[in-house]
Amino acid sequence: MNDFLKKISLPFIFLLTLSLFLVASPNNKTVLAVSVGEKEAVQKFIKENSKDLFNLPSDKVKIKDIQDDNGLLKVTLDLNGEEQTFYLTKSLKIVSQFIDLAKISKGKLKQIGQSNGQKQITINEETKKQIKNFIEKYLLSQKVPVEIKSVTVKDGLYYLDISLAGQSQPLYLSLNGRKLAFGVITLDEYKKIVAANKKQTAVSPEKKTDRPKVELFVMSYCPYGTQIEKGILPVLDLLKGKIDAQIKFVDYAMHGKKELDENLRQHCLQKQSPEKFTDYLKCFLEEGNAKKCLAEIKLNEKDKTPTSWFQKVINWFKSLFHLGKSENGQAELEQCIRETDKQFTVSKDYNDKSTWNGRFPGFKIDREDNKKYNVQGSPTLIINGERITTGRDPQSLLKAICSGFKNPPKECQTKLSNQTPSPGFGNQAATAGSGGGCGQ
């Protein structure tokens, strides 16, 4: 495994960074002109490497726009009819992830260092202190020693060699101090990541059933858990009624109390309002705003699906004897969360560190299934009782799930997107491999 793969697999490095990672934030952008030479170099690079980069022939990849976004080349593409954003350095290295500093700090920090928008900042001891404080406050899920070992200019960006708990982690900063970039890799490194992911792919469970059982174990704020959820949602919509699918949770949480709360919320939504759960999850995966998404799915609103006269009579009798669901779905959800929290001692265990799983609080709701399948981290995909490793794009996940049917339905012939979603929140496509995970 190459150094890059080793670094991104470290379980404790930049977990919060990845869960908040943003591409193409609309705010606080410095967009400059791109020279003719730079545009021609990008066009040639994309055309010659479209198969390796996007798994598409060059005639299916169209460049719509190229901009200089804070020292990075932002390339807007049409990939076989789907618009995606792709980032490169000016030396044509691939930028897999970056952070808009104003967005991650909710506007409190516009940039590191002092500059006038487009000017180059000076890296001195004070600036290093700012960077160190920023990493400790916003990017780490737990307190570890941070040291900035050296700063150089590389690929048109500041290259910072940072030590986290004694292990080296490369970090790039735009020259004007507005963007932090991770995973700046060459095309050859990118190919190695893709090849490694393909080698470990096993998409066909031995056991076949008439109605495959799909269990996806995640942590609700794990960037790689949200990545595979974005990939699997179109598959769940397509195969609705033909498979038994459930989102379950790893039995410990690496992203703090907010993850425990969200796990509880999603567990109860699936249990009490399964018809609204996928709509909630689609919304939540956009920006992690639970309050907004609960409002959007309108838990207190009656189902407007047309019913037969016979079903209407049944529903009338249920209402007479207070059977079936209450119309106050929000109150039911809150009650479920309270009762489940108490039953599985979620908050109680969070406040008692003697119960933690090493450095992390436990989450016992799906613990028996975690033990049954030896779930170690997020994501873990189980089909018909077997652990499956596959790509995280909708097409790969459809193929994996359909391989669990004795007689696959016609929906399994559907062509879904083969673009891997980005880790974290948002609807962008990933520009690097999809083999990362959160786990001990």
Structure token pair of residue 437:
């995970």
Instruction: Supply the DSSP string of 65-98, one letter for each residue.
Output: EEEEETTEEEEEEEETTEEEEEEE-TT--EEEEE
Element (H, E) at 335: helix 329-343
What count of Cα atoms within 13 Å lies in the side-chain half-sphere of residue 137?
12
Give the confidence band of 311 by pLDDT, cuts at 50, 70, 90: low
Which pLDDT does position 318 carry in this prediction? Answer: 47
Residue 246 has pLDDT above 90, yes or no: yes
List the beta strands (DSSP E) in 167-281.
Answer: 167-173, 179-185, 213-218, 244-249
Which pLDDT does position 13 carry in this prediction? Answer: 34
Per-residue pLDDT, averaged over 306-312, amounts to: 53
Which pLDDT does position 124 carry in this prediction? Answer: 78
Residue 327 has pLDDT above 50, yes or no: yes
User: How many angstroms separate the CA atoms of 106 and 45, rounded?
Assistant: 35
- 0.85 surpassed by pTM: no
Name which of 36-45, 76-85, 192-201, 326-335 the model is least confident about. 192-201
Of all residues in the chain, the percent with pLDDT exceeding 70 is 75
Residue of 106 and 166 predicted with greater confidence: 166
Structure token pair of residue 14:
């930049």
Which pLDDT does position 7 carry in this prediction? Answer: 36
User: How many angstroms separate the CA atoms of 408 and 389, rounded?
Assistant: 20
Question: Would you list the domain boundaries of the chain?
Answer: 3-196, 202-299+341-439
Which pLDDT does position 79 carry in this prediction? Answer: 83
Per-residue pLDDT, averaged over 358-370, amounts to: 92
Could you check whether the bond before residue 379 is cis, i.e. omega within 30 degrees of 0? Answer: yes
Which pLDDT does position 24 carry in this prediction? Answer: 32
Which pLDDT does position 221 carry in this prediction? Answer: 92
Which pLDDT does position 322 carry in this prediction? Answer: 43
pLDDT tens profile 131-141: 788 777 766 65
Residue of 83 and 41 predicted with greater confidence: 41
Instruction: Name the residue type at position 427.
Output: N
Residue of 125 and 416 predicted with greater confidence: 416
Strand, helix or coil for residue 226: helix
Residue of 427 and 306 predicted with greater confidence: 427
Give the confidence band of 308 by pLDDT, cuts at 50, 70, 90: low
Instruction: Enumerate residues 6+ apart whose C-beta is below 8 A from 165.
Output: 12, 144, 145
Residue 11 has pLDDT above 60, yes or no: no
Burial of 119 (0-12, 13-18, 19+ CB in 10 A): exposed
Strand, helix or coil for residue 420: coil
The DSSP output letter for 388 is E
Residue 15 has pLDDT above 80, yes or no: no
Beta bridge partners of 68: 32, 73
Residue 6 has pLDDT above 50, yes or no: no
Instruction: Enumerate residues 6+ apart whose C-beta is below 8 A from 265.
Output: 290, 333, 337
Residue 27 has pLDDT above 80, yes or no: no
**Domain spanning 202-299+341-439, CATH class:** alpha beta
